[in-house]
Amino acid sequence: MARALLVTIRETRAYLRDRGELAFSLLLPIAIFALMYGAFGGESMFHGTAYVVNEDVDGAYSTRLIERLDELDNLDVNLLSWPEASAKLRRSDVLLVVCIPEDFSARLISGWPTQLVFRQRGNGGDEGQIVASLVRGVAEEISQEIQIERQVQRALVGKGIGQEKIQTTVQKLLDREREFPIVGVSEETIGTGVDPVHQFLPGIVTMFVLFSITLNARAIVEERRKGTLERLLTTRLRVGELFTGKFLASVSRGLLQTLILLTLAYIVFQIFTPVSFIQAITIVLFFAAAGSALGLVIASVVRSEDAANWIAVFFTMSMVMVSGTFFPIPEDSILYTVSKLSINTHANVALKTVIAEGGSLGDVGLELTILAGVGVVGLILSRILFRVVPGGSR
C-alpha cells in the first residue's frame, strides 16, 4: 500500500507542476465563476427603461404621466421622437415604445376617455412586458385620481368652493395617500432568492471535475507509450498497487480541484454553511471516485493519447448535456429518463439538495449509492481490461 501511495503522491505532484493542466482545471472554472458572479452576483431587482413618444407636448396629464413614471425607482424614462422610435423598433434596439397621443390631455380635461398606445415588436420582450405593466399601473392611478377629482367636484357643486381649491386639496390628499397608502406593501427578504448560482454551481463543478479526471486517461496512455508503466511493473510494485495509486491520484485531483472551487464559491457567493460545505465535498468525493473509475476504463480501452482525449471530451460532454447542467429537463420527457444514465445528474441533484435546499447526506443516499456503485463497477471493469502493454498479461 505504501508503494501505491507513493504513486499517488507522484501523480498529484505532477498535476500541480503542470501549468497547462492547472490552468484548465482551476483557472477556467474560476473564470466561469467570475463571469457568473458578474452576471448574477449583483442586485437582482428589475431595472428598465420606458421609451416614450410624447405627442401631447406640454399637456397637463401627459406631463403628470411622465413625471410619475420617472419617479419609479426601477424605471428610467427615455423620450424619443417618432422617427427615432420607429428606427429603434425597426432595428430591434427597443422592443416596446409607449406613445402618448396628441389629444391625450385635451380629451381627459373634456371628460372623454383616451388611450395610450404600446408599439412593440412581438410580445415586447421580457423587459418591455414589465415596463408595459408599470405604465399601465401609473395610467390606472392617474385615471382613478381624475375620477376622484370629478366626483368631489360634483359633490361640492353649489357649496361656494372654487374649482381650483377643490383640485388643489384633492391633489394634496392623493399625494399623501401615495406617500402613506392605507394598504401598503413591505418586503421581507429571507436568505437569497432562487439563485442562478445555486442552479449552475453544481453543474460547473461536476463538469470540470469530470473533464479533469477523464482527461487523466491520456496521461496513463502517455505513460504506457513512454515505457514508465512497463518499467514500474518490473519493480516490486504490483499491478493492484499501481492501479490503486492511479485511482487515488485521480480522486485526489478531483477533490483538490473541488476544494478550491467550492472554497471560492464559499467566499464569493456565500452559499454554504460549514456543514453543507463538508457535505458537498463528501458528495464530490463519491463523484470523483465514480469519474476516476470511468477514466480508468477509458485508459484501459484506448491505445493512443488522441483517442483518450476525444473519448474523454465526448464522454464528459455527453454526461454534462444530458444532466441538465445548463438547462432544466422536464420530468415527463425522454431526456429525463436518459439523464439518469449520467453520473453528473446524480451528483448535481445531490449537490443542489445540500447546497440550495438545506438537505443532508441522508437525503441523497440514493444518489451516493448510485455513484458508489458506478465507482465499484468501473474499477472492476477497468481492472479486467487494463494492460500495461498491449496484449500483455498484466
Residues that bind another protein (CB under 8 A): 3, 6, 10, 13-14, 17-18, 226-228, 230-238, 388-389, 391-394
User: Which is closer to another protein, CB of 240 or CB of 373?
Assistant: 240
Closest separation between CB of residue 239 and another protein, Å? 10
In the bound state with another protein, the residue whose beta carbon lies nearer, of 256 and 289, is 256
* Shortest separation between residue 376's beta carbon and another protein, angstroms: 27
Nearer to another protein (CB atom), residue 133 or residue 235: 235
The nearer residue to another protein, 20 or 160, going by C-beta atoms, is 20
Report the distance separating Cα 138 and Cα 130, nearest Å: 13
Nearer to another protein by Cβ, of 225 and 340: the residue is 225
Q: How far is the CB of 198 from another protein (least distance, A)?
A: 38
* Secondary structure in 3-state letters for the chain: CHHHHHHHHHHHHHHHHCHHHHHHHHHHHHHHHHHHHHHHCCCCCCCEEEEEEECCCCCHHHHHHHHHHHHCCCEEEEEECHHHHHHHHHCCCCCEEEEECCCHHHHHHCCCCCCCEEEECCCCHHHHHHHHHHHHHHHHHHHHHHHHHHHHHHHCCCCCCCHHHHHHHHHHHHHHHHHCCCCCCCCCCCCCCCCHHHHHHHHHHHHHHHHHHHHHHHHHHHHHHHCHHHHHCCCCCCHHHHHHHHHHHHHHHHHHHHHHHHHHHHHHHCCCCHHHHHHHHHHHHHHHHHHHHHHHHHHHHCCCHHHHHHHHHHHHHHHHHCCCCCCCCCCCCHHHHHHCCCHHHHHHHHHHHHHCCCCCHHHHHHHHHHHHHHHHHHHHHHHHHCCCCCCCCC
Q: 9 or 174, CB closer to another protein?
A: 9
Compute the least distance from the CB of residue 5 to another protein, in Å. Answer: 10
Shortest Cβ 251–another protein spacing (Å): 20
Q: Which residue has the cell 472492476?
A: 380
- Distance of closest approach, residue 207 Cβ to another protein, in angstroms: 26
**Which is closer to another protein, CB of 100 or CB of 221?**
221
CB of 338 to another protein, least distance (A): 38
As measured in angstroms, the least distance from the Cβ of 225 to another protein is 8
Q: Which amino acid is at 332?
A: D
Q: How far is the CB of 293 from another protein (least distance, A)?
A: 24
Phi, psi of 244 (to 5 degrees): -60, -45
As a whole number of angstroms, the distance between CA 370 and CA 286 comes to 9
CB neighbours (10 Å) of residue 5?
Answer: 14
Which residue number, 170 or 256, has a Cβ lying nearer to another protein? 256
Q: Using alpha carbons only, give the angle 193, 326, 196 rounded to the nearest 5 degrees.
A: 15
Q: Minimum distance from CB of 302 to another protein (Å)? A: 18
